[in-house]
Chain A
Amino acid sequence: MRLEYFQMIDRVRSVDAEAIAAEAVVPDRSPVFEGHFPGHPLVPGVLLVETMAQASGYLLLHRFGFARMPFLSGVKEAKFRSFVVPETRLEVSARLEHDGSGYAVTKASIVADGKRICDAELTFRTLPFPAPELEAAMRARAARIGLPGQAPP
């Protein structure tokens, strides 16, 4: 994870049209921890939501064959059950709840050492890529984390 660059997912372990399993390791240092919190570094809950959203996003990119980009538009029932400290290895998973017209809904969760960290229901608007640079960046990032099917058409 590179928290300050919003690069939350390190590796995709498995993915199909319905679900994804990914890994993310919290860095030992980050400017984020300077403020959150001094002397007691914790990954902010909003970044755990972002981590679940990115896993869901890669699931949707894979499902759509990179024809559409998911943009987070709703977070429901988000629960943060445990603190997440530096160097924690996170198992991030997301499952498609519904593939609608121009939107999709997922249920996502994070587990560490068998312990539930957080979960939420996430809604995304799905749109054609608004800029070729964004599509190229998403494909490149997806390739780095091992998401299959990200090669340009």
Chain B
Amino acid sequence: MASAFDRIADIIAETSDVPRERITPDSHVINDLGIDSLDFLDIVFAIDKAFGIKVPVEAWTQEVNNGTAPAEQYFVMKNLATRIEELVAAKSAGA
């Protein structure tokens, strides 16, 4: 099966106007790829469906806004992929 990074990059390319080849592990979803909050909602919806999880976007955003987590932790592609893998693993462990 494709890696979480590849699956997320494919979703972003399909959901937004960003060419797939522009999406690298070091891409910042907002700063580098120019995804706005509304497009990000569509992407999260697609990720939720594809991975069978509920990406906690509200909690992430709150942490970033409160300064308790750097935005890169959630919005740089390789880190986003890691967070998604963690959510999938947590769901499997709890199943």
Binding site for B on A (CB under 8 A): 73-74, 98-103, 105, 123, 125
Contact = CB atoms under 8 A, between A and B. Distances in A.
Interface residues of B, number: 14
A125 B40 CA distance: 12
Interface stretch (B4-12, B17-25, B41-49, B72-80): B41-49
A103 B41 contact: yes
B42 A101 contact: no
Given A73-B38, A74-B38, A103 B59 contact: no
B45 A101 contact: no
A100 B45 CA distance: 7
Contact of B48 (A73, A100, A123, A125): A100
Given A73-B38, A74-B38, A103 B45 contact: yes
A100 B44 contact: yes
B55 A123 contact: no
Chain A contact residues, majority secondary structure: strand
A101 B55 contact: yes
Contacts of B48: 98, 100
A17 to B, nearest CB: 16
A102 B57 contact: yes
Contacts of B61: 102
Nearest to A127: B58
Interface string B26-64: 000000000000100110110011000011111101000
A102 B54 CA distance: 10
Among B38, B45, B57, B58, max chain A CB count under 10 A is at B45
A81 to B, nearest CB: 25
A102 B58 contact: yes
A73 B44 CA distance: 14
Contact of A98 (B38, B49, B56, B57): B49
Given A100-B55, A101-B57, A102-B57, A74 B41 contact: yes
Contacts of A73: 38, 41
Interface in B62-94: none
B55 to A, nearest CB: 6
B11 to A, nearest CB: 14
A63 to B, nearest CB: 15
Interchain residue pairs A-B with the least CB separation, the first 5: A102-B58, A101-B57, A101-B58, A101-B56, A103-B41
